[in-house]
Chains A and B, each alone.
Chain A
Amino acid sequence: MINLIVIVISAIMFGLLLVWWRWPAFRAWIEAPKYFMLRQERRFDDQLKG
């Protein structure tokens, strides 16, 4: 049980770090939603103000 959990989590973490390191475009892609969220906030604020 313990081995299963440790192996699976380690594999997931390693895989994520590998993708992060190997594909720089992935970094920009996965960070994009945080800007989208702020853009949406600004749109709603602007609409309410305007």
Chain B
Amino acid sequence: MTTLSEHSIYTAGQPSVQSAGKLPSVEYGLIRAHVFASLVTLVISVLFGLLVATKFTFPEFLGGHGWLTWGRLRYNHTQGIFFGWLGNAFLAFFYYAVPRLANRPVLSRKLGWSLFSIWNFAVVLPGWVLVAAGFSQPLEWAEFPLVVAAFVVLAFILMAFEFVLPFLNARLSDLYVSGWYIIGGIVFTMLAYPVGNLVPWLVPGARGAAFSGLWIHDAVGLYVTPFAVAIAYYVIPATTRRPISSHFLSMVGFWLLFFVYPLNGTHHYVYSAIPMAAQKGAIVASAYQGMDVILVVTNLLLSLPGSSGTASKDVPLRFVWFGVVSYLVVSLQGSVQAFMPVNRFIHFTDFVIGHSHLAMIGFASFIALGGIAHLWQRIPGTRYNERMMNWSFWLLAVGLTLMVTDLTIAGLVEAQVWQSSAPWIDSVRAVESYWLVRTLSGLPILAGFVLFWISLVTGPRLSEAIVSETSRVASEDKAAFEDGSAASHEFSLTGWLSHAHVIAFGAGVGFFALSFLVLAILPGKELADEIKRVAPVTMPTLTASEQRGRVIYGREGCAYCHTQQIRSLAADVRRFGAPTEAWETKYDYPQLWGTRRIGPDLSREFNIRPRDWQLTHLYNPRFVVRDSVMPPYPWFFSGSANQPTQEALDLLAYLQSLGRARELSGFERQALVPSVQPVTPDMAMPREASARATPPTVPIAMTGGYSDSAPVLHPASNPGDLQEEVSRGGTLFAANCASCHGAAGRGDGKASSSLLPKPANLTAARFSDERLSSVLWNGVVGTAMPPWRQLPAEDLRALVAYVHSLHLPAAAPATQEVASLEVGKALFAAACGSCHGGTGAVNGPVAGTLTPPPTNFHLKQPTEERAWEVLENGVPGTAMPPWKSQLGESERHALVAYVRSLYDTPQEGPRQ
């Protein structure tokens, strides 16, 4: 059977310049191939995204394998959407639209199939496999490894030949705005992509981040947006059969977009170490970009009046209309997000993730789907199933609306918690339900995409129905055609100005160079000077193990949940320490600043937590933090947290190097002095409400190693109030302490097997209020016990009350114990005094050198069983040795009696 696709009119091999009566050939085979590739990769990419979202609620889900871990799936999700879905969809549209817009065929069918093969089998597929196998780069929107990036660049060069060259001889008076966007998008992305991928490997830290910021925005602004807008500008008039409202405005929008979009880049790093002039320039450009989008969308929507019937009946047009409205919303949202008063609050939160999904699904994907459906109805041999397509639209619209609304609210909730002094994990707990809703909202989105695919393959096979009823609207303004045709000859440009591709290429290079000059090169020079001036002379580089750990950190996507960038904001400084300075990142190739916080910032991780805590946390984060959503990394271990592989040790070494240079050089302490000049007005440190225990000059993240004088927290004396405190303390204990201390406080939590020294058995000792307050306030240096001073004072008091309740009242001392006290005292002074002090007050000559410090028996009274056990076996992980072989049974009994008798008696010397 002969189909229209085989008809000579539509086959390749036509003369490159068509006579007025002939039409250029259209590569329908390539259109179909790219459409199917786009939908296959779309469904796979959405499945990746669904797994990523599911892991927020069920972090252990498919968590046993490296290739299925959150970070790698997340890389593949975004790169799959970027290259697989949108790339193929755009290419399909180019093959449909370029011959119409240029009145010439694309350059070559062979070239087209080469491009198809490279795009899918040298970029998307190997990119996914390599990322899953652990070969990637931690650069946002550039996660595929460099070897794949090289093929992306090659593909864009081929695209320039395939799609830009047909416009070579096009008259400017014939070049419709969609053609401009196609040319501009290809040219600009061809220039920006290699720089965004390569420069951060060559320029370190803050300087590299300035370039990264450009590409993060250029990926959306120079690749996604121009091609999606090209489709919108094409589908609307082609469906309504009426010209767009104003081609002049469309061209103003085009040039404004390409001028201001690249200048937006640094708005991803507001309040960072990048020079403020560059940040503010990016913010102003963001405002202009919002105005530009208002202009573009107004023009597009003004092209629709009188076509409401068409828009409601024609599903492709409805997809495009939804995309255009989303474009307006998401762009204005983006502009507002860049403004400092908003940015300081919502940056790093799920608000931005909602924004991204509105951009990539609501705007780009809806328009791409509209474009595909539009062309599918107009190419020979293919039609869509309208009912399915309609269902697809509504499922996607409902799912996306739910997802974006949910993430937006989640972001505001996270931001609210981050502004407070509450523990970081509270922000995770606060949005757990929102993450579940987000995952559920992904289901109708996935169903919508699958139905779209089904609608394409189950449509009626009508070779005779070339133009759909809705597209055959009798509103063609034929008189306008004639007017426009005639007018185009009255005004013309001559010379090189008459060639669209020359103008676009020249402007592309110019705008590209301008954005890199003002947002990356000049700020980079300023940063380099600052680093030279400020950096410590002996700033240590990373060891080989730390360097390997850094690669693992990047490979596993750690930077997508943890920033290494403390912003010049009071909330950041209060929580994490002094703002990150450029010199701290001078060895970071590439920078790992990150643009999202699900976990806390890690740039001051040096000396914060002990080795065993870190390893246990890597093995399974919920072993030490019950409500953590961090992925487990069991493949870094040989079966248990006690058996780390070299990879775990390397990653640990890297984590423990973060902030080392700053700490060793004394910068951290200087910056915490209240008299330090604020970097911005926001840096004026606010006074905390007295309800919060945290002093403003001590970062919340700083855990362990403190010996501040703690406020003594006494539980309520009234029995009713005490009962209430114990009850609340139990809830707090279960949420924050049970992972290590066990549900009943016996020191047998999930983490206990891999922590050394083991968590305290809180049932085996009686503690004074002073001791419990001190531990909760300062943590216990040399152990995994962190300080909890960030909790409100009433919570700390409730915990004290609850821990008291865990201890059963001891029976009255036996007579023989009283008799042996004097013996015990003498033994204690001789055998234990050097550490515990002669009177058990930890004032022995070596007490100050031991971590963890020896027990102060005036503040802690072990049970007889516990004291006996310690004397028998010692305390592994501390300086306390076993005394079984050195002391007889009666002597040990005497010691047990003596140390227990010290509790709550006056002590001499410094208290611990």
Contact = CB atoms under 8 A, between A and B. Distances in A.
Interface string A5-49: 110110011001000100101111111111111111111110111
Contacts of A35: 243, 480-481, 483-485
A1 B280 contact: yes
A28 B491 contact: yes
Contacts of B491: 23, 25-26, 28-29
A49 B492 CA distance: 34
Interface residues on B, range: 35 or more
Interface residues on A, range: 35 or more
B602 interface: no
Contacts of A43: 23
A16 B256 CA distance: 11
Given A9-B288, A38-B481, A49 B466 contact: yes
B244 A34 contact: yes
B894 to A, nearest CB: 78
Interface in B255-298: 255-256, 259-260, 263, 277-278, 280-281, 284-285, 288
Interface stretch (B171-179, B430-438, B720-728, B827-835): B171-179
A28 B488 contact: yes
Contacts, number: 132
Given A1-B277, A38-B237, A45-B467, A32 B101 contact: no
Given A1-B518, A16-B252, A28-B484, A33 B476 contact: no
B597 interface: no
B865 interface: no
Given A1-B278, A12-B255, A25 B263 contact: no
B357 interface: no
Contact of B488 (A32, A42, A47): A32
Given A34-B244, A38-B476, A42-B476, A29 B490 contact: yes
A4 B284 CA distance: 11
Contacts of A41: 100, 237-238, 241
A29 B23 contact: no
The interface residues of chain A, by DSSP majority, are classed as helix
A41 B476 CA distance: 11
A31 B490 contact: no
Nearest to B292: A9
Contacts of A6: 284
Interface string B163-177: 000000000011111
Given A23-B491, A37-B178, A43-B23, A5 B100 contact: no
A31 B248 contact: yes
Contact of A2 (B281, B466, B467): B281
A5 B492 CA distance: 30
B251 interface: yes
A39 B176 CA distance: 11
Given A20-B248, A36-B176, A5 B488 contact: no
Given A1-B277, A28-B487, A44 B100 contact: yes
A40 B101 contact: yes
Nearest to A45: B467
A16 B288 CA distance: 16
A31 B487 contact: yes
Interface in B475-513: 476, 480-481, 483-485, 487-488, 490-492
Contacts of B467: 45, 48-49
Contacts of B378: 45, 48
A12 B514 CA distance: 15
A33 B23 contact: no
B481 A48 contact: no
B383 to A, nearest CB: 13
A8 to B, nearest CB: 8
A32 B9 contact: no
Interface in B717-765: none
Contacts of A13: 252
* Among B241, B250, B487: residue with most chain A CB under 10 A: B487
B246 interface: yes
B237 to A, nearest CB: 6
A7 to B, nearest CB: 11
Given A33-B175, A37-B237, A48-B4, 20 more contacts: A1-B518, A5-B281, A9-B256, A25-B487, A31-B243, A31-B248, A32-B173, A33-B177, A34-B247, A34-B250, A35-B481, A36-B173, A36-B485, A37-B178, A39-B485, A41-B100, A42-B476, A45-B466, A47-B9, A49-B466
Q: Which 3 A-B residue pairs are closest in the complex by CB-CB distance?
A: A28-B487, A35-B484, A1-B281
Interface of B: 4, 9, 23, 100-101, 103, 173-179, 234, 237-238, 241-244, 246-248, 250-252, 255-256, 259-260, 263, 277-278, 280-281, 284-285, 288, 378, 380, 466-467, 476, 480-481, 483-485, 487-488, 490-492, 518
14 contacts: A2-B281, A5-B284, A8-B259, A9-B288, A12-B255, A28-B484, A30-B247, A31-B248, A32-B485, A33-B247, A34-B237, A35-B481, A37-B100, A48-B466
